């Protein structure tokens, strides 16, 4: 064997060995949802909630700056579409205008002694885009921390506000818990109970709570529901109250009471660096988290006020009170413990939400599908059977039609199979049922290049050329035809991958790696086999083709 042939043999064997490393054992191959079983969710980011959250944040920032300037005559309120600043006098106007001009994403409109701030179109778009990106990142964090292996999380939709989540191996028992993790923003806030909070008589609706306050909320306060666990037994009295509740009101079995809190948020989930479930001395589940520097300072100030003035403060999650606490002394460290009536799963999930960060908007479930692993196993069985039958049919045809040259194509096709699996493994691609279809399709397409070469060699032999000359001409004259065909297929596969979703992308990935492997084996490996045969039989006058 010549040095050139030896080098090509070693190079081919190294490529095969490297490819085998990425897919052997076969447990390294990632199976998609349709093969392994699991759940499929399609979610939509509720962008309007991100806009409303920014309005509330803007309200709080304006209020803080007014307090810093000792401007007490001006009040700030927000609604779902704007922020309203009332009580602007001639004396306070310059200072108020300077404060409001710092909010570049807002348009400020004068209405007498009031200033109305509305979000500009470009600012709303940036808020929604940020909410979409943040949603995907936080969902990935939550799913990864939950422990689901090999999740597929991809953006979708023309506005990028839809997210497809595929979780292989997730059973029915875990599905509802994961839905809760994905759908809720997980935004933590810490606020003081208002000094104007009436007695702690449990009122079950917001209307009742507002009536106790004389029909109007005191300045700088909001009402929030404190939830309780649903009872295991629903009494007839509870059922009657549920039927009597007005549309939009919280039902009796959801709310323990409505509580009046101050607008000022001392710190939120952005100050949390770590969180985990714990237990107190009574064995009750708690949630322990650690604050960053700014959060530690805010918590120190909060607990100092609570201790000196005997006040209570509340932890809110997604604008619902989960715990009301007091502090006997000022806490200077960054470690915080939330006590509540948590089950172990609830404490774990709350810790996970706090640790992974908060969404700017909640998620709406548009689609939900479950697939059993048994269906996946059946799909794998039929898919492999189809691929084996197709591969066997190709082998039979090539041997019967092209005789010994057909063995050349079979060897090249076997190398093509190994390289394809290696490329899929190296890219950590997920094998889906459409991917298996693409896999089987590329096997048939791969042998097409050999057919072009063999037919051209036949024509050159019929024209009277020698065997070496016919082989040389056969490869040279169809080279660009093969490259053109493969590049065309590659562009089609790339377009499917870019614009397709889910199963279409799985098909596109298999098609792409098949085209690359086919181009290598049909040109390089097949030519090497012919050259090696000619070296062993120099001067041969015939070729079995």
Q: What is the spatial distance between Cα 48 and Cα 362, in angstroms, rounded to a whole number?
A: 10
**If we measure between CA atoms, which residue out of 298, 293, 301, 300 comes closest to residue 273?**
293
Q: So what's the pLDDT on residue 231?
A: 38
Pairwise pLDDT comparison (220 vs 232), residue with the higher score: 220
Q: Find the radius of gyration of the CA atoms of the chain.
A: 34
Whether 354 and 412 share a structural domain: no
pLDDT attached to residue 27:
66
Backbone angles phi, psi at 222, to 5 degrees: -145, 155
Task: Please give the pLDDT value at position 206.
Answer: 84
* Tens-digit pLDDT profile for residues 137-195: 888 888 877 766 667 888 888 788 899 888 877 777 778 888 888 878 888 889 999 98
* Type and span of the H or E element at 18: helix 3-23
Least confident of 201-205, 347-351, 510-514: 201-205
pLDDT surpasses 90 at 337: no
Gap between the Cα atoms of 58 and 115, Å rounded: 13
Q: Residue range 300-321: average pLDDT? A: 91
Model confidence at 307, in pLDDT bands (50, 70, 90)? very high
Q: Same structural domain for residues 327 and 466?
A: no
The backbone torsions φ and ψ at residue 173, rounded to the nearest 5 degrees and listed phi first, read: -65, -30
Asked if 334 and 382 sit in the same domain, the reply is no
Same domain, 358 and 423: no
The predicted-structure confidence for 30-77, as pLDDT tens digits, reads as follows 777 767 778 888 999 999 999 998 998 899 889 889 988 888 889 999
Q: Which residue has the higher pLDDT, 16 or 504?
A: 16
pLDDT mean over 438-460: 84
The pLDDT of residue 480 is above 70: yes
Residues 270 and 393 in one domain: no
Strands laid side by side in the 335-342 sheet: 272-279, 285-291, 335-342
- Those residues with Cβ within 8 angstroms of residue 382's Cβ, 6 or more apart along the chain or in another chain: none
| Alpha carbons 412 and 452: distance in angstroms, whole number | 14
What pLDDT is stored for residue 17 in this prediction? 92
Cis peptide before 25 (omega within 30 of 0): yes
Shared domain for 454 and 362, answered yes or no, is: no
Q: Is residue 399 part of a domain?
A: yes
Give pLDDT, residue 535: 86
Question: pLDDT category, 374, cuts 50, 70, 90?
Answer: low
Is residue 245 located within the same domain as residue 303?
A: yes
Claim to verify: residue 222 and residue 300 sit in the same structural domain:
yes
C-beta atoms surrounding 198 within 10 Å: 13
Residue 248 has pLDDT above 60, yes or no: no
Same domain, 398 and 501: yes
Least confident of 177-186, 426-435, 444-453: 426-435
Nearest to 163 by CA among 129, 135, 124, 127: 135
pTM (predicted TM-score): 0.60
> Nearest Cα to 168, choosing from 35, 352, 42?
35
The number of distinct structural domains making up the chain is 2
Q: How confident is the model at residue 110, as a pLDDT? A: 92
Distance CA 78, CA 42 (A): 32
pLDDT value of residue 150: 66
- Position 236 scores a pLDDT of 42
What is the rounded distance in angstroms from the CA atom of residue 168 to the CA atom of residue 34?
8
pLDDT at 459: 92
Among residues 351, 369, 387, the one where a domain terminates is 369
485-492: long-range pairs with CB below 8 Å, 24+:
485/448, 485/449, 486/449, 486/515, 486/518, 486/519, 489/445, 489/515, 490/515, 490/516
Question: Do 382 and 339 belong together in one domain?
Answer: no
Say what the pLDDT of residue 309 is: 92
Question: Considering the domain boundaries, does residue 304 fall inside one?
Answer: yes
For all residues of the chain together, what is the average pLDDT? 83
Q: What is the pLDDT of residues 383-412, one digit of tens each?
A: 778 778 878 888 898 889 988 888 888 898
The token pair at 104 is: 């570049």
Q: Which pLDDT belongs to residue 85?
A: 94
Q: What is the pLDDT of residue 239?
A: 40
Give the C-alpha separation, 442 to 119, whole Å: 53
Q: Is the pLDDT of residue 245 over 60?
A: no
Residue 308 has pLDDT above 90, yes or no: yes
Q: What does the alpha-carbon distance between residue 41 and residue 366 come to, in Å, rounded to a whole number?
A: 8
CATH number, domain of 193, equals 3.30.1360.200
Query: Domain for residue 126, yes or no?
Result: no
- For residue 243, tell me if it sits in a domain: yes
Residue 488, domain CATH:
1.20.1640.10
CA distance 413 to 407: 10
Write the pLDDT tens digit of every residue in 78-118.
999 999 999 999 899 999 999 999 998 999 999 999 999 99
Report pLDDT for 229.
53
Could you tell me what percent of the chain has a pLDDT over 70? 90
pLDDT of residue 241: 42
Q: DSSP readout, 241-293?
A: HHHHSPTTSPPTTTEEEEEEEES--SEEGGGEEEEEEEE-TT--EEEEEEE-H
Same domain flag for 258 and 365: yes
Mean pLDDT of the region 319-334: 86
Which residue spans within 387-439 are E strands per DSSP? 430-431
Lowest model confidence (mean pLDDT) among 9-13, 121-125, 237-241, 273-277? 237-241
> What is the 8-class DSSP label of residue 193?
B
Residue 253: per-residue pLDDT:
47
Using the predicted structure, report yes or no on whether residue 237 has a pLDDT greater than 60. Answer: no
Q: Give per-residue pLDDT as tens, 250-266.
A: 444 467 888 899 988 89
Instruction: Please check the confidence at residue 373 and state whether its pLDDT lies above 60.
Output: yes
pLDDT at 423 over 80: yes
Instruction: Pick the last residue of a domain from 304, 339, 369.
Output: 369
CB 231 within 8 A of CB 253: yes
DSSP string, 444-498: HHHHHHHHHHHHHHHHHHHTT--HHHHHHHHHHHHHHHHHHHHHHHHHHHHHHHH
Residue 376 in this model has a pLDDT that exceeds 70: no
C-beta atoms surrounding 240 within 10 Å: 11
Q: Provide the domain limits for residue 480.
A: 3-37+372-536
Phi/psi at 289 (5° precision): -140, 160
Tell me: the pLDDT tens digits for 486-499?
Answer: 888 888 888 888 87
Q: Are residues 319 and 405 in the same domain?
A: no
Of residues 247 and 302, more confidence is placed in 302
Exposure string for 38-52, b = 16+ CB within 10 A, e = fewer: bbbbbbbbbbebbbb
With cut-offs at 50, 70 and 90, classify the pLDDT of residue 205: confident
pLDDT > 90 fraction of the chain, expressed in percent and rounded: 19
Task: State residue 201's pLDDT score.
Answer: 58
- pLDDT for the residue 2: 75
SS3 of 226-244: EECCCCCCCCHHHHHHHHH
Provide the token pair at 407: 């063995």
Residue at a domain's end among 341, 369, 397? 369
């Amino acid at each position: 064997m010549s040095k050139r042939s030896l080098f090509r043999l070693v190079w081919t064997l190294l490529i095969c060995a490297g490819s085998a490393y990425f897919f052997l054992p076969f447990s390294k191959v990632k199976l998609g949802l349709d093969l392994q079983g699991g759940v499929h969710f399609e979610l939509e980011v509720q962008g309007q909630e991100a806009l409303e959250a920014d309005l509330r944040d803007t309200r709080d920032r304006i209020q803080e700056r007014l307090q810093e300037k000792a401007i007490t005559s001006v009040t700030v309120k927000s609604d779902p579409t704007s922020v309203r600043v009332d009580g602007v006098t001639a004396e306070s106007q310059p200072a108020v205008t300077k404060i409001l001009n710092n909010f570049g994403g807002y348009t400020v409109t004068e209405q007498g002694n009031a200033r109305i701030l509305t979000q500009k179109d470009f600012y709303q778009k940036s808020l929604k885009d940020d909410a979409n990106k943040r949603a995907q990142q936080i969902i990935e964090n939550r799913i990864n921390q939950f422990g689901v292996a090999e999740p597929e999380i991809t953006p979708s939709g023309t506005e990028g506000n839809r997210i497809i989540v595929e979780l292989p191996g997730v059973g029915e028992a875990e599905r509802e818990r994961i839905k809760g993790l994905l759908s809720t923003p997980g935004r933590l806030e810490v606020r003081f109970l208002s000094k104007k909070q009436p007695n702690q008589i449990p009122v079950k609706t917001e209307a009742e709570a507002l009536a106790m306050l004389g029909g109007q909320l005191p300045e700088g306060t909001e009402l929030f529901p404190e939830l309780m666990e649903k009872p295991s037994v629903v009494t007839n009295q509870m059922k009657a109250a549920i039927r009597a509740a007005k549309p939009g009101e919280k039902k009796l079995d959801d709310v323990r009471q409505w509580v009046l809190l101050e607008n000022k948020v001392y710190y939120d989930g952005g100050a949390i660096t770590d969180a985990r479930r714990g237990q107190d001395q009574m064995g009750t589940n708690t949630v322990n988290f650690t604050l960053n520097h700014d959060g530690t300072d805010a918590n120190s100030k909060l607990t100092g006020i609570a201790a000196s003035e005997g006040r209570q403060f509340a932890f809110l999650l997604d604008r619902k009170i989960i715990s009301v606490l007091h502090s006997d002394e000022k806490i200077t460290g960054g470690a915080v413990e939330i006590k509540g009536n948590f089950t172990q799963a609830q404490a774990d999930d709350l810790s996970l939400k706090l640790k992974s960060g908060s969404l700017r908007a909640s998620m709406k479930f548009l689609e939900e599908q479950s697939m059993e692993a048994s269906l996946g196993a059946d799909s794998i069985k039929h898919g492999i059977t189809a691929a084996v039958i197709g591969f066997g049919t190709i082998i039979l045809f090539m041997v019967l039609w092209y005789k010994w040259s057909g063995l050349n194509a079979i060897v090249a096709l076997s190398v093509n199979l190994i390289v394809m699996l290696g490329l899929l493994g190296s890219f950590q691609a997920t094998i889906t049922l459409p991917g298996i279809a693409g896999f089987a399709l590329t096997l048939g397409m791969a042998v097409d290049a050999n057919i072009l070469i063999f037919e051209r060699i036949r024509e050159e032999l019929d024209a009277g050329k020698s065997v070496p000359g016919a082989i040389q001409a056969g490869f040279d004259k169809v080279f660009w035809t093969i490259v053109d065909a493969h590049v065309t297929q590659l562009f089609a596969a790339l377009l499917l991958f870019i614009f397709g979703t889910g199963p279409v992308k799985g098909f596109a990935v298999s098609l792409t790696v098949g085209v690359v492997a086919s181009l290598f084996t049909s040109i390089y490996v097949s030519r090497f086999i012919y050259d090696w045969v000619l070296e062993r039989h120099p001067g041969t006058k015939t070729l079995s083709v």
